[in-house]
Structure 1
Amino acid sequence: MAAAIAAAGSLLPLDDLKLPDHLDGVRMEQDGHLNRDYHKEVIIGNHEEFEEGDEEEKEKKLREIFFKVDTDLDTYISQEELEEWIQVKVQEHFDESTDETERIFKHLDSDKDGTVAWEEFHVHFLLAKGVSAEEAEKQVSDYYAVGSLDPDAKENLIRYKFRWAEADLDPQDNKLTMEEFASFRHPEQSKDMLERLVKEIMDNLDQDSNDEISLKEFVALPPGEIEYAAQDSDKMWQNEREKEFKEVVDLNSDGKITKDELKVYMDPKNPTHSRSEAASLIQMADENNDGKLSLTEVLDNEDLFMGSKMVHTGQSFHDEF
């Protein structure tokens, strides 16, 4: 199998085979880290092209979006209009991930039988990591074979295998259909996998294993060495998480996050998100407190909608748990 794939020159790049750590349009990453691009993703959609854009381009983009969101043409954005826009942007992210997943699935399904076996995925992953075809065949056929993969790659493969097994529903044949493969790559889009994703995050954050996440646990710094030079950034990062805990995640304000609250928080299709995000954005940018946004207010708060380098600097210290 490996030799045939290598000979055909049909290798997928490694980025296509890695499970995405970042989930567009979802408030929290799979490792429990807040999605620092959430505001941008639910307002401008595909935002990467504007990361390094000049101020003129950013202002032009914001103006375009403003008049698209203002559907009743009264020169203001209401909360209802903003909610509807956010729902559209989230759906766009879903559609983009679906297209990407279908492309990868079709490439891996070399025999076109409508399924992808774990062995096929495993071989592609090894070859993409630079493992020879001969060694790849050996590792796939012999679980105990000693390979040349680096520790991080080995750890990823183990994690992927568990995720693969979770996505492999009836019949559990170690093969994934297109729908199961989509759940494997994007668990937030599957009801069953969303449950498992929530459990994974609970396990990461619930330090005392009482099936609840306290404010202290939610804002705790990721494990690792403390860099005193980064203390200001640490504090900024913790303040951001405390605000998210109190204003968004802890729905009943009892000082703890339950599994059900986390499930609501992690489900990108839950209407609570578009409602709370629209209300939050208007509250932060509504300078004259009239309950709606003018074009001037949107442009005056460019950092809120397009992202701030100052904020990104503080958050970048803890991109991964």
Structure 2
Amino acid sequence: MTALLQESISKMHKVLTFHSVFISFCVLFIIKLTYCKPLTFKKDLGDSQLTLDKLKPQDHLDALKMEHDGHINREYHKELFLGNHEDMEKDAQNADSKLKDIFYRVDGDKDEFLTEAELESWIKLKMEEHFDEALQENDEIFEHLDPDKNGKIHWKEYYVHFLLAMDIPEDTARKHVTDYDQIDLDSNAKEDLIRYKFRWTDADEDPADNELTKLEFLAFRHPEQAPKTLKNMVSSIINTLDLNDDHILSEEEFTALPPGEVEEQDQRDLDQQWQAERKKEFQLAVDTNHDGKATEEELKKYLDPKNPLQAVMEARNLINLIDVNKDGKLSLTEIMNRKDIFLSSKICDFARNLHDEF
């Protein structure tokens, strides 16, 4: 018994040691990259100050169906159908009327049904708006961070603006990026900056100089538009979901529930519904040659937000998810009965929350 206890303690010590080493590595990595070379700051910060919302890259990947962990982006349907859905979610009382308004705008022939073709045209429009908006916003923020117009932004310049957005005085912010004892940042801000630094380094490609060009800055803020992101995501998703290490995802692997014990019947029912929707997604949009497997190339096409087939697949997917009477089109009643898909996605999100997905 004593020997077993000693073995357990030894294993626990190894795990704790690994985490300590990993955390230390992250801290050293950030310090090294931040101090990598001297920097002469750009003096002109412009007339206005950027907010944290403008500076922070998105936590999830816009316009991509899946996240790095292989699970569905819970914002995806809303982004493609509603566009800027945040205002609707904040104004819950008027959300229904706004959703109805969108229904009638999509209904081109005014027959009070949405066909696959009408949905496809609308989704293409929303996709174009999304990418146009991302480019315009990226240009505006880049210009603000690059007042001397040399076409590059250094990490420390971004860091200074991040601190300014937290209402830290400019002179203190500038001192802090060379002397980290100037400001005692809270744990959330520190974690954010570590994550952003890794993303910054990932976007900083050629040359890797700790400075981002406008195109690299776009990859930092909107990695869904970078080919490198798609390649990395495919590898990450396969590594996460591929149980037999054959570098191909079967339908069973794609629809597998996240780890976690579920005991109540209501929770099991939600899991089954979540798996059913994942199965439809796999059959309709992922496994394009219908051989029961998803290759790396199929996953890449499935993830690529600029693939013209995305609008077609998403239109079909929405009809499959919402079309209760199976007439191949959507009525306003059907959409309002499944408005969770567009507004709060409570059903799908709750099922995943049971397994500590988020």
Tell me the TM-score range normalised by the shorter chain.
Answer: 0.7 to 0.9
Q: How many angstroms does 1:124 deviate by?
A: 3.6
Structure 1 residues 290 and 73: alpha-carbon distance in aligned structure 2, compared to 1, 3 A threshold:
same
Pairing of 1:281-320 with structure 2 (within 5 A): 281-317=318-354, 320=357
The alignment covers a number of residue pairs equal to: 318
Bigger drift between 39-48 and 288-297 goes to 288-297
Q: How many angstroms does 1:52 deviate by?
A: 5.5
Comparing both chains, which one has the higher relative contact order based on Cα–Cα distances under 8 Å and sequence gaps of 6 or more?
1
Structure 1 residues 104 and 207: alpha-carbon distance in aligned structure 2, compared to 1, 3 A threshold:
farther
Q: TM-score, normalized by length of structure 2?
A: 0.69
The whole-number CA distance in structure 1 between the counterparts of 2:188 and 2:92 is 37
Q: Which residue of 2 aligns with 1:46?
A: 84
Q: Are 1:211 and 2:247 matched, yes or no?
A: yes
2:103 to 66, 69, 81: 66
Larger Rg: 2
* Cα contact 1:213–1:256 (8 A) shared by 2: yes
The whole-number CA distance in structure 1 between the counterparts of 2:107 and 2:171 is 59
Unaligned runs of 5+ in 1: none
Q: Which residue of 2 aligns with 1:180?
A: 216
Q: Which residue of 1 aligns with 2:7?
A: none
1:245 to 282, 285, 303: 282
Q: Secondary structure at the match of 1:51?
A: helix
Pairing of 1:129-144 with structure 2 (within 5 A): 140-141=177-178
Letter in 2 for 1:22: H
Q: Secondary structure at the match of 2:230?
A: helix
Q: Which residue of 2 aligns with 1:37?
A: 75
Q: How many angstroms does 1:45 deviate by?
A: 1.7
Q: Which residue of 1 aligns with 2:309?
A: 272
Q: Which residue of 1 aligns with 2:9?
A: none
Bigger drift between 39-48 and 210-219 goes to 210-219
Unaligned runs of 5+ in 2: 1-38
* Cα contact 2:287–2:293 (8 A) shared by 1: yes
The whole-number CA distance in structure 2 between the counterparts of 1:32 and 1:136 is 38
Q: How many angstroms does 1:158 deviate by?
A: 4.9
The whole-number CA distance in structure 2 between the counterparts of 1:221 and 1:186 is 28
1:199 to 223, 228, 235: 235
Q: Secondary structure at the match of 2:330?
A: coil
Q: Which residue of 1 aligns with 2:150?
A: 113
Q: Per-residue displacement from partner, 1:154-175 (whole Å, max 9, x unpaired)?
A: 5654554443344334444332
Structure 1 residues 244 and 131: alpha-carbon distance in aligned structure 2, compared to 1, 3 A threshold:
farther
Q: Secondary structure at the match of 1:102?
A: helix
Q: TM-score, normalized by length of structure 1?
A: 0.76
Structure 1 residues 186 and 31: alpha-carbon distance in aligned structure 2, compared to 1, 3 A threshold:
farther
Q: Secondary structure at the match of 1:269?
A: coil
Bigger drift between 232-241 and 265-274 goes to 232-241
* Cα contact 2:62–2:76 (8 A) shared by 1: yes
Q: How many angstroms does 1:85 deviate by?
A: 0.5
Q: Which residue of 2 aligns with 1:257?
A: 294
RMSD: 4.1
Q: How many angstroms does 1:93 deviate by?
A: 1.8
The whole-number CA distance in structure 1 between the counterparts of 2:216 and 2:341 is 37
1:100 to 137, 144, 148: 137
Q: How many angstroms does 1:221 deviate by?
A: 5.2
* Cα contact 1:2–1:133 (8 A) shared by 2: no
Structure 1 residues 137 and 302: alpha-carbon distance in aligned structure 2, compared to 1, 3 A threshold:
closer
* Cα contact 1:22–1:30 (8 A) shared by 2: no
Q: How many angstroms does 1:311 deviate by?
A: 4.0
Q: How many angstroms does 1:267 deviate by?
A: 0.9
* Cα contact 2:200–2:220 (8 A) shared by 1: yes
* Cα contact 2:42–2:148 (8 A) shared by 1: no
* Cα contact 1:36–1:315 (8 A) shared by 2: no
Aligned identity (percent) is 49
The whole-number CA distance in structure 1 between the counterparts of 2:272 and 2:112 is 39
The whole-number CA distance in structure 2 between the counterparts of 1:297 and 1:65 is 14
* Cα contact 1:166–1:193 (8 A) shared by 2: no
